[in-house]
């Protein structure tokens, strides 16, 4: 525009052009991220030097590692004064690290099969694109896995499964009348069936029977995976229910939920585990004893659920009031508006928080080693390190435990990021 004439009319529109070469691709990334200023250039070289010396220092330890030896002394003999890891312990004690030291070795195929099937059962829950019919297997899986890991007659699992089917059947039969009545009838029907089923199972306890493995014989990473998976899977629905309960208009339900959440959150998990181990037994009539794993599971589920409830509450609070009002104004009732409008959005917001808490729970399963259960860490601290054969092989064992947990937790975290992107419909 010239100084004396301020009017301007564009006669031709400018078409799009690509940015200059220095502002594209790898060159742009390197320039912007590594060499954007003198200070950053220096820091880049310092970091490169640091990474280099770290690799140089650690590489021999890994590369000289001994994978084949019977004892730690044999390891040192083979290393002959060089620095190197004694990975042989992982090799020799592998079954103990994975299954614990009491699980009968002839039955290792059972937990193996259960963990492979776990992936199959989780797949349709984690990936919405898979055929929905696979969910039927996910529903059967918990009962199948129980039979595989603990053994006994398959009738126990079948009976438990049928009880659940009966409960759901009764619920959906009566749910159109009243929610509370339907739940009550479902519970009664299931319990009646379980009592009858119990007698039938007792009479035929050899049908398709696998060798019994008592809970105290479970151990190793299998125990961590078992506790973590079950606690996380149960605590998500319980957490959602608690979060909704906390928002309830009914004061008694609200107070129960608030008290539960605040109490559980205010107590360290390790305290709850000691309670599960020692004190809980006092509350049951003499002679009856609840399985230790079950007691620990209850505590872990409660603990995780309390945290998830708070995460979900945050998600619920993040939704605008307009969403609740719009759902109300088109005539949806409470259950429908929660199911179709509120929870899908609130849970999407809560995914990072839920995953954060659940990954923490997965790792906290190693705390059971303190109440003398032999999980992965319990096995390392107890039977392996205290044996004369492998005394003092700390780095290799704990490093391996860290690596196993890292792989699992990192995959879970990557999955959650992928899921968040999948559900991102509002900012496309």
Partner 1 sequence: MAEKLKLEVSDEIAIKVDSMNKWFGSFHVLRDIDLTVNRGERIVVCGPSGSGKSTLIRCINALEEHQTGQIIVDGTELTSDIKNIDRIRSEVGMVFQHFNLFPHLSILENCTLAPIWVRKIPKKEAEETAMHFLEKVKIPEQADKYPGQLSGGQQQRVAIARSLCMRPRIMLFDEPTSALDPEMIKEVLDTMIELAEDGMTMICVTHEMGFARQVANRVIFMDDGQIVEQNEPEKFFRNPQSDRTKLFLSQILGH
Residues that bind partner 1 (CB under 8 A): 320, 322-323, 325-333, 336, 340-341, 344-345, 348, 423, 425-428
Do the beta carbons of residue 101 and residue 118 sit within 8 Å? Answer: no
Q: Rounded to an integer, what distance in angstroms lies between the CA atom of residue 349 and that of residue 351?
A: 6
Tokens of 81: 């004064």
Cβ distance to partner 1 smaller for residue 179 or 410:
179
Q: Least distance to partner 1 from the beta carbon of 332, Å?
A: 6
Would you say 69 or 244 has its CB closer to partner 1?
Answer: 244
Name the minimum Å distance from CB 345 to partner 1.
Answer: 5
Q: How far is the CB of 129 from partner 1 (least distance, A)?
A: 17
Q: Please state, in angstroms and rounded to a whole number, the distance separating the CA atoms of residues 72 and 397.
A: 12
Residues 6+ apart with CB under 8 A from 426: none
Smaller CB separation from partner 1, 130 or 330 = 330
CB of 244 to partner 1, least distance (A): 17
CA atoms of 240 and 261, how far apart (whole Å): 12
Q: How far is the CB of 421 from partner 1 (least distance, A)?
A: 14
Which residue, 121 or 343, is less far from partner 1 as judged by CB?
A: 343
- Cβ proximity to partner 1, 300 vs 354, nearer residue: 354
Q: Which is nearer to partner 1, 330 or 407 (CB)?
A: 330
3-state secondary structure of 10: coil
Residue 287 C-beta: closest distance to partner 1, Å: 48
- Minimum CB separation from partner 1 for residue 172, in Å? 16
Quote the distance between the C-alpha of residue 362 and its chain's center.
5
How far apart are the C-alpha atoms of 234 and 37, rounded to whole Å? 52
Cβ closer to partner 1: 118 or 342?
A: 342
Q: How far is the CB of 314 from partner 1 (least distance, A)?
A: 18
Produce one character per residue of 22-47: b if its CB has 16 or more CB atoms within 10 Å, e if not. eeeeeeeeeeeeeeeeeeeeeeeeee
Q: How far apart are CA 365 and CA 293, in angstroms?
A: 11
Q: Which is nearer to partner 1, 85 or 349 (CB)?
A: 349
Distance in angstroms (rounded) separating the CA atoms of residues 24 and 196: 72
Contacts of residue 142, defined as CB under 8 A and 6 or more positions apart, other chains included, come to none
Choice between 83 and 178, CB closer to partner 1: 178
Return d(Cα 249, Cα 257) in angstroms, integer.
Answer: 12
Q: CB 312 → partner 1: shortest distance, Å? A: 16
Q: Which two tokens stand for residue 155?
A: 């009738």
CA–CA separation, 338 and 345 (whole Å):
10
Q: Please give the full DSSP string across 174-188, using - where no structure is assigned.
A: HTTT-HHHHHHHHHH
Q: What is the dihedral of CA 344, 346, 348, 350, to 10 degrees?
A: -140
């Amino acid at each position: 525009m010239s100084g004396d004439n301020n009017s301007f009319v564009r006669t031709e529109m400018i078409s799009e052009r690509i940015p200059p070469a220095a502002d594209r691709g790898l060159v742009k990334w390197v320039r912007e991220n590594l060499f954007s200023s003198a200070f950053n250039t220096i820091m880049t070289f310092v970091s490169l030097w640091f990474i280099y010396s770290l690799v140089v220092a650690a590489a021999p330890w890994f590369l000289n590692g001994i994978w084949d030896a019977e004892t730690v002394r044999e390891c040192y003999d083979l290393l002959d004064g060089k620095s190197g890891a004694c990975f042989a312990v992982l090799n020799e004690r592998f079954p103990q690290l994975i299954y614990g030291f009491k699980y009968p070795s002839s039955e290792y195929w059972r937990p193996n099969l259960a963990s492979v099937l776990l992936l199959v059962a989780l797949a349709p829950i984690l990936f919405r694109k898979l055929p929905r019919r696979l969910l039927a297997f996910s529903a059967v899986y918990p009962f199948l896995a129980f039979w595989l890991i603990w053994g006994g007659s398959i009738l126990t699992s079948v009976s438990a499964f049928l009880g659940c089917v009966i409960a759901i059947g009764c619920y959906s039969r009566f749910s159109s009348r009243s929610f509370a009545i339907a739940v009550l009838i479902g519970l009664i029907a299931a319990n009646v069936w379980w009592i009858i089923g119990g007698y039938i199972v007792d009479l035929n306890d050899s049908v398709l029977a696998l060798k019994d493995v008592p809970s105290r014989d479970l151990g190793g990473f299998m125990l961590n995976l078992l506790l973590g998976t079950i606690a996380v899977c149960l605590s998500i629905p319980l957490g959602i229910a608690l979060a909704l309960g906390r928002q309830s208009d009914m004061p008694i339900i609200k107070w129960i939920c608030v008290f539960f959440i605040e109490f559980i959150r205010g107590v360290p998990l390790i305290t709850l585990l000691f309670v599960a181990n020692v004190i809980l037994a006092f509350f049951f009539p003499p002679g009856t004893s609840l399985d230790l794993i079950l007691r620990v599971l209850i505590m872990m589920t409660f603990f995780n659920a309390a945290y998830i409830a708070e995460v979900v509450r945050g998600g619920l609070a993040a939704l605008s009031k307009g969403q609740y009002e719009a759902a109300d104004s088109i005539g949806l009732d409470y259950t429908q508006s929660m199911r179709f409008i509120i929870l899908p959005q609130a849970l999407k917001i809560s995914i990072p928080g839920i995953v954060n808490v659940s990954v923490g729970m997965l790792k906290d399963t190693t705390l059971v080693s303190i109440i003398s259960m032999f999980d992965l860490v319990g096995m390392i601290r107890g039977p392996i390190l205290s044996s004369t054969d492998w005394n003092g092989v700390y780095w290799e064992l704990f490093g391996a435990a860290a690596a196993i947990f890292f792989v699992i937790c990192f995959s879970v975290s990557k999955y959650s990021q992928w899921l968040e992107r999948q559900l991102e419909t509002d900012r496309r």
